[in-house]
Chains A and B, each alone.
Chain A
Amino acid sequence: MSSSTPQARSPGDRVCQKEARAKAMGHIVLNGLMAALFASLFVRAGDLPSSMWEPLGSGTFPRLILAVMMVFNLLIIAKEGRRYMACQPLAPHAVRDWLWRHRLAFGVLGLFTLLTLAVPLVGFRWASLPFLIACQFLLGARRPRALLIALVIAVVMSFGVDALFRHVFTISLPRGVWG
């Protein structure tokens, strides 16, 4: 009997069951989205031109892969659908709790997203400097000494790295509008 069946009784099992249900839902959503995307790509690949010089055109190899992947997607959806049905429903605040537990990961991801968007606009130096300071602050550098270290690291990793690449490796990192 798998641990995800309704017969599990201990608190640990219940947590495990909730996680299994959430993951099963995640698999179903992800594979459903992928299957839809792959189906549209499959159709698109069919329109790719073929050549008189080769039996396989540009679209054959991708179509082969896409077809196999769609089969895998459906198999995973079927398997995880059964698991989802067998698990207890999630508590109403489960998603909120999960998001709160992962707040730092999402915070870092948000800052990294801002960094990637800012690099072409303001250049590597001025985008990475606030990223490095903000990220270290978010992850716990709050006292004056820690903030000073964070500042030094930020300057070295932004202005220092930029200078290293420009003058030693002769590679210009993005300069942005303030270049």
Chain B
Amino acid sequence: MKQKALYILVLAALILSACGGLAGGGGQPSVVRIGWASGPDSLNIGVAWLASAYTISELTYSSMYEFKLDGTLGLDLGTKETASADGLVYTYKIRDGVKFHDGQPLTAKDVAFTYNLVMAHEDFPTLHSYVEHFVSVEAPDASTVVITLDQPIPNIASKLVFLYILPEHIWKDHSEDDAAAAYENLEMIGSGPFKMLEYKPNEFIRLGVNKDYYGAVPKVDEVIFQVFSSSDVLIQALKTGQVDMITSVPNTSVETLKSAENVKVVTGAPLSPDLEDIIFNMVDPANCPTADGGLCTGHPALRDKQVRLAMAYATDKNKIIEIVKLGLATPGIALIPSGMGEWFNIEVKDFEYDPAKGNQLLDEAGYKDANGDGIRDMPDGSRPLTFRMNWPSSDNEAPRIAELLSEMWRELGITLEMQAVESDALTSKCCPALDYDLMIWGWVADPDPNSLLIVPTTDQIPTGYNETGYSNPRYDELFAAQGAELDKDKRIKMAWEMQQLVHDDVAYIIPYYPYAVQAYRTDRFTGWLDTETKLALEDPSSLTIIEPVK
């Protein structure tokens, strides 16, 4: 392969000459290079889906509130929040002298414009849900914003935190009808600590420091987010020093990275906590929503709480965490992840792993192995306890979980037929067809618990989020009440009770809440915030304070 060697040689010479040319260019700017697995889907936050789009928005925009790493929300652009006694009118004072990246001033008019824009656009799928009860937003003067609601909501801060303030002078030309959703917003003019310098979709994003930022001006000159196609490559990039920080580390690589030189691996709760859940189809064919296309083929045994309870007892969550997550997760209880701080009910006591107890429960409930094939049958002997188990094929941890569950539940005399399903098909299988027995799927949380608490409510049954068909009047009652409760402590109490209910009824088995795992190079920048409750090194909280290692 002489040719190859020659090729490399020639290129190396070219590179060297190029580097020589670059070195003469003067003072080195401090550039933080961050590697991640996928860039934002869109710079137009109205239509963006991905967390990475929100990450970039956090850095380039400001919003009324900031989302802190302890899970609480604090005023950011706003300086004062006043609520009317009936909880229907909120008045905000905002900072003076804030400027957009293009030098234009940011006033209350821009805030009102942004909120009205989102209210007018149903085709801003995620953002629009945050303005659900908004009636009007006005800016009586340059520093005052008044929001009027149609019902009191307990969590306005969590609604406003993601409504990044867009410059009216730019967006007003792109606000009508389809134009807003179609606007690519490549300049991404905002008022955050960083401004957009260069965007190569799916390659990299370069952000420069905003020297006019009203808060602490970042100490670095540039932040580069670079996309790497796989996590393996990502880690290699960190190890070889091609990037300074990576936003995710596969669990399997944690051990090696820990032993790598000048690399620190950190874990914590994710900024947006998520969970993996095992879903039971509990819909009785008698109540089947056939009008919506319901098939309701769920196994009858799963409608029996004793069976679900037995399965819960036979589920060794620690083993699942140990094998699938390599210990980097906490056992789950209900639909509110522990990373949600005060909303998470720490008092719920999980079913202790005890397969014998599970077997005993099944024996008591009359599920015997009638034909001696090692698999329990329905009490009437009509069919064996063989359940279909599905999961979205894009989830590469689910098959591992399924295998483990299959093994654990075999001890109960329950067998699984496992099948990955394309997530789109799984959605139709789930709801409204209800054509499954068990599923492994996941949810990702909003800062406010409402979005996850709504899942098992009766209203959501055929076409909403309630995949299980779980229906508990007490739960529904609590859900309605917490949605209008302005006293946070009372609301927390309600949320806790709701978690207890779902847990006791075994509507789900939640194997775990995963940790966020990130890593950075210690020889490049210092000051990363890695000891907070939540871990997000790509958050402005870290990027505005880190400085180069001297």
- The finding on whether chains A and B are genuine partners in a shared complex, rather than unrelated, reads no
A residues contacting B by CB (< 8 A) are none
